[in-house]
Amino acid sequence: MGDRSGVGLVECTILEALDSLGAQPRRHRRSAKVLEGVEERIGLAPGYGYEVLLDLARPWKMPLLLVDGQGNFGSRGNDPAANYRYTEAGLSRAGEVVLAAERGGLAPVPVGLINGNVYREGLRPPFRPLAIIQALREVIQRPRVTSKDLTSIVGPPCFLNGCTVTGDFAAMAAGRPTTLRLEARVTVSDDHRRVLIQNFPPNANPDEVATTLASRARMRVWAAEHPGLYSRTHLPLGDIRDESSERHGDLLVCVPARGTTAGELREQLMNVYGVYTTVRVDLPRSLPAMLRSWVKAHADEDLLTSLAALETAVRNQPDRS
């Protein structure tokens, strides 16, 4: 892991390979050439390196994207990414900042603290980039700032796709293991005839959710023999449509079965896994301690300047909420 950014070895190597090819923001290079550079540097085969490159560019994976992808980088559903021979990549503004920090041209930046690693089934959740930056500024400028204030500034984990996050945030901030619940945005339409499911949790597959919902709406041959089980698993769903688009993102439209209101259907949908998911988190130490430790480790460097550079990169990143 990069000591000056918290970004992993493979991720840093991908950024180095992009930079060596002149793949700056809005100047993309073929992913195949980037992965050749990664293999030359650390011996990682392109098939493995490509999965990491995809993660760095997929807007549902992490708050702060380090790569700007061009081409088919796949979807959150069952649409896979195109082969690396047919996609292109460039550094994002944040990727440039990470490289500058790793090379010593800029003081360290807290990208590892921001992005966490749950996107690869780790235990560290992501946080709002600007919140982490603000909290670190508080530690630098007001060393006696209380842990309670720091926790309040950072707030709960944030996946920046609009899903709702609930759980024992106090336990998480204290460095104790806990489980968070991530919920899609499930609303009743203005005409009260449909239920709209949007902003899926990042670890949910909207295509598989649609399949699950349709399956649970069908009559089962064993329903008469097991009425209790059937009533608990059956959804009063008359129709389901996938109306996902580039403008609206992932969107499932659910029409209640006759005799069921949209509000009643919504309540049942909220209990279907995929509409909600869970994620286990366990910070290595308390959140305030992580922030103070990061500042202390780099106390002899101009952290305020590097935080300002990172903030600019964050503000230049497209809104994905």
- Contact predicate 89/18, CB 8 Å: yes
CATH of residue 189 = 3.30.1360.40
What confidence score (pLDDT) does residue 247 get? 80
Domain assignment present for residue 121? The answer is no
Average pLDDT of the chain is 93
Write down the pTM of the prediction: 0.91
Instruction: Find the helix packing angle between 46-57 and 31-42, rounded to 10°.
Output: 120
Kindly state the tokens that stand for 65: 């994207």
What confidence score (pLDDT) does residue 220 get? 62
Give the structural domain span for 259: 185-274
Domain assignment present for residue 10? The answer is no
Q: Which tops the pLDDT comparison, 27 or 3?
A: 27
Side chain identity, residue 89: A
What DSSP character marks residue 284? S
> CA-CA distance, 22 to 91, in Å (whole number)?
9
| Total domains in the fold of the chain | 1
What confidence score (pLDDT) does residue 234 get? 83
- Model confidence over 108-164: pLDDT tens digits? 999 999 999 998 889 999 999 999 999 999 999 999 999 999 999 999 999 878 899
What confidence score (pLDDT) does residue 226 get? 55
- Model confidence over 163-204: pLDDT tens digits? 999 999 999 999 999 999 999 999 999 999 999 999 999 999
- Contact predicate 241/253, CB 8 Å: yes
Domain assignment present for residue 219? The answer is yes
- Model confidence over 79-106: pLDDT tens digits? 999 999 999 999 999 999 999 999 999 9
Q: What is the dihedral of CA 17, 57, 282, 278, to 10 degrees?
A: -150
Residue 222 in this model has a pLDDT that exceeds 70? no
Torsions phi, psi for 61 (to 5 deg): -90, -45
Residues 15-33, mean pLDDT to the nearest whole number: 94
Three-state DSSP state, 227: helix
- Model confidence over 48-63: pLDDT tens digits? 999 999 999 998 899 9
> CA-CA distance, 119 to 123, in Å (whole number)?
9
Domain assignment present for residue 59? The answer is no
Domain assignment present for residue 33? The answer is no
Residue located via tokens 């480790």: 297
- Contact predicate 25/68, CB 8 Å: yes
- Contact predicate 111/98, CB 8 Å: yes
The per-residue DSSP string of 100-149 comes to: HHHTTSS----HHHHH-SGGGT-SPPP--HHHHHHHHHHHHH-TT--HHH
> CA-CA distance, 296 to 198, in Å (whole number)?
41
Position 208 confidence tier, pLDDT thresholds 50, 70, 90: very high
What DSSP character marks residue 252? E
Domain assignment present for residue 251? The answer is yes
Domain assignment present for residue 6? The answer is no
Q: For the chain, state the CA radius of gyration.
A: 22
Domain assignment present for residue 216? The answer is yes
Q: CB atoms < 10 A from the CB of 117, how many?
A: 16
